[in-house]
Structure 1
Amino acid sequence: MRLTKISKFLSLILRHRPEAIGLRLDQAGWVNISELIERAYQSGVRMTSEQLRQVVATSNKQRFSISADGTRIRANQGHSTPVNLGLQAMVPPEMLYHGTSIRSLKAIRNEGIRRGGRNHVHLSQDEAMARDVGRRHGPPVVLTIMAREMADAGFSFYRSVNGIWLTEWVPTIYISFPPERS
């Protein structure tokens, strides 16, 4: 349970609110691990370097990366703060998937999938992963995205180090919706 709390704290700080504990991410989203631990401690959050590394190593969603020299950490994607992850545009697979909730479907049918407060829309290559993401807010709905068609039409796609595909917006014409429930 303790590692889950640390993971959630890291997501908040490394993706959205580094200033909440007096941190600044560099342009690529990295922060010094020792400084992160010290600032977290000053803010009332206790974690050790070993716990932090265990969160990174055991996270099934691989949300974080540690630098090659072992001194820095960053979130792999999901930022609402401006960062440049250094990702190169790539041609996506034919289809990708987006997990959402039933209550979000009406807005998606009208506007497509928007990034909300994040820098990108997150898509997965795996339907089961999309279902798990959608499950966070109630009964899940998995949308199929015609990613290759989008790329052919000029939309850019990026693949994060943990395999999540990123794009800025998915218009409705590229979304295959499940049949409406009556």
Structure 2
Amino acid sequence: MVAAWIAQLTRGILALALGLTITLTLEHTPVFGLVTFGAFAVLAGVVLLGATFFGAYAGRMRAGFLAQGVATLAAGIVALAVPGGGVAFLAILVGAWALVAGLLEGASGLLARKLSPLARDWIIAGVLTLALGAVALLLPADFEQALVGEKGATGTLTSSVILIGVIGAWAVLVGVLQTISAVTVRSVRSGARADRVVAS
């Protein structure tokens, strides 16, 4: 039986890995975005399905997290299968996935407010994921703007750079949230067990 805090921590680590990979990479091309998002989504989907089937992560919210796991895994497979899909494809794929996953996680959190210590964090993650979906779907695929920096340095800000940067920012925020909540839940449960041992 996989403990809920372990599943939450694993999800957080995967999100942080995605965010740091994007942050530390300068070339934010659609291919890079599809490959990195695809790898993250496949692993995150497998973790979510495994935690739901073989652990106590979802509790009574099993249906919502199963659907989220399937959607995440499917999005990852599609992204890896079509790495040359372009920025519009990346935006539609990430946007559609984020809206579905955000709604499912947010709804699960709302329904589990009195059932799980992770409910509040599911709600926050759901809202952040919905915001990612909105940005991805509303961002013009053909956006391009020349930039001039200090000492005459030039560059181009494109929709691909913006979108992948937003995905990276979302991943860092969600990863930090999930990691902190996992550690918090673990600490609370460890403290409760210690109290029971002392009381006995």
Q: What TM-score comes out, normalization by structure 1 length? A: 0.25
Q: Which has the higher helix share?
A: 2
Higher RCO structure (Cα 8 Å, ≥6 apart): 2
Q: Which has the larger radius of gyration?
A: 2
Q: What TM-score comes out, normalization by structure 2 length? A: 0.23
